Structure 1
């Protein structure tokens, strides 16, 4: 029997549909709050002008970045949230964003197969979605970001990463690979869906390869590390 492709869009959709109800709590508690801090830092990497703005939150999940995005840039009129999981979209509306619904629209789709319009966004942001793609898919995602950004548009991506070279890396990997599955098994009685987050993160490595993909598509790119490389990000702009 062939091994399951964990990067197949249908597989990714099913994983996040199943864990959507507890995703917000689990990710916050098991990251000791770092995911929330990193979302704010991702928003801080955006450089946006005054005036009405619209853009995409790719692999939007439960939309936890939206409060930070709208607080820093109150001139954003429209966030178009793209995610493959209907469960995550539903959870976003129910749990966090009923009061912001008039400023957020949803596109439930595999982002790499979506028909997003060229030069239709002032910004593109994504928090913790890169890990669910392999290197071939990263190249397609980089091309998509370059295509949908308007000239002068800004982008920011952040992802949990493998902190190679950090002296506490073994402890960090132990937390991802062993502690998370145990917490899920004992407290959540899940189907080990959350343990996939650890597998995706360690497979991902860091965002350096994705930075190169973005640059290859003509974008100005800066690579950044957060908390000793436990998260890495890329930011920049599309030249005018």
Structure 2
């Protein structure tokens, strides 16, 4: 009998998002009723202002770069963004469809972020939207250490991720939407049901960002835990002392 795949193995994650990449933007926006875009904007607005006049940033698990317009609007003097993502399909979508007019300000690195050779003290701000769910707690701990390592002193960060809104009276309806409705929409209207269904699996397995907040604090960072829309998304923002 063939053993079940390790859904957190980097090669597995890359395959899922490569196959999803062509329709990821539409699927994410429609199936979240537009909330993913709202949460990206809130993650940027909640991030402390970096101290540098012309800051450089890292976007981890960057996907299609949908957070960049929000960064450029709030931090118009941003000098550059380095986008790191394991999925070549996601990178291609970011370049071809969304951000061609500003691609000279974005450097792309196709790599597993936990294995990448990012420069220590290499950025003034660090952001990540909807990438935490693809990691295990042990990987979250390594990611927290990486955040401390790559941020300059005084550098700032913000993460956001779809979460399990425990305690909310509409939680059963939310979970039904995540586990049943999303895969059904994908099977009827899109291609690759098993891949889009995995996004729901990753999200429910993730829980929320509270444990990641503790890992960041243990790494030496100042951290605030954030809830968005009754805990349907959670995040962390903070600063390196």
Question: Normalising TM by the smaller chain, what interval?
Answer: over 0.9
- Secondary structure, in 3 states, of the residue corresponding to 2:58? strand
For 2:230, what is the secondary structure of its paired residue?
helix
TM-score in terms of structure 1 length: 0.98
Counterparts of 1:164-179 in structure 2 under 5 Å? 164-179=166-181
Match of 1:128 in 2: 130
In the TM superposition, what whole-angstrom CA distance separates every residue of 1:31-70 from its partner, at most 9, and x where no partner exists?
A: 0000000000000122223511101000000000000001
For residues 108-146 of structure 1, the C-alpha deviation after alignment (integer angstroms, 9 at most, x for no partner) is 000000011110110110000000001010000000000
- How far, CA to CA, are the matches of 1:187 and 1:114 in structure 2? 36
Counterpart CA distance in 2 for 1:184 and 1:25 is 11
* Aligned equivalent of 2:56: 54
* The one of 145, 148, 152 aligned to 1:146: 148
- Indicate the larger mover: 79-88 or 1-10: 1-10
The separation in 1 between residues aligned to 2:52 and 2:60, in whole angstroms, is 22
* Aligned residue number for residue 224 of structure 2: 222
Question: Does the residue aligned with 1:122 lie in a helix, a strand or coil?
Answer: strand
Give structure 1 regions of 4+ aligned residues with deviation exceeding 6 angstroms: none
Matched position secondary structure for 2:167: coil
Tell me the equivalent position of 2:7: 6
C-alpha spacing 1:32/1:104, structure 2 compared with 1 (3 Å)? same
1:100 to 102, 105, 109: 102
- Matched with 2:33 is 32
In 2, Cα distance between equivalents of 1:50 and 1:72: 14
1:78 equivalent in structure 2: 80
Considering only aligned residues, what root-mean-square deviation do their CA atoms show, in Å?
0.7
Structure 2 portions without partners, runs of 5+: none
How many residues end up aligned between the 2 structures?
Answer: 239
How many angstroms apart in 1 are the aligned matches of 2:199 and 2:99?
24
Partner SS state of residue 221, structure 1: strand
Q: Which moved more, 1:39-48 or 1:228-237?
A: 39-48
Q: Distance in 1 between matches of 2:152 and 2:51?
A: 13
Task: Output one character per residue of 1:57-86: Cα deviation in whole Å (capped at 9) or x when no partner.
Answer: 000000000000011101111000000000
Residue in structure 2 matched with residue 17 of structure 1 by the alignment: 18
Deviation at 1:191, TM superposition (A): 4.0
**Unaligned runs of at least 5 residues, structure 1:** none
Q: Is the 8 A contact 2:164 2:233 kept in 1?
A: yes
SS of the residue 2:178 aligns to? helix
- Find the counterpart in structure 2 of residue 192 from structure 1: 194
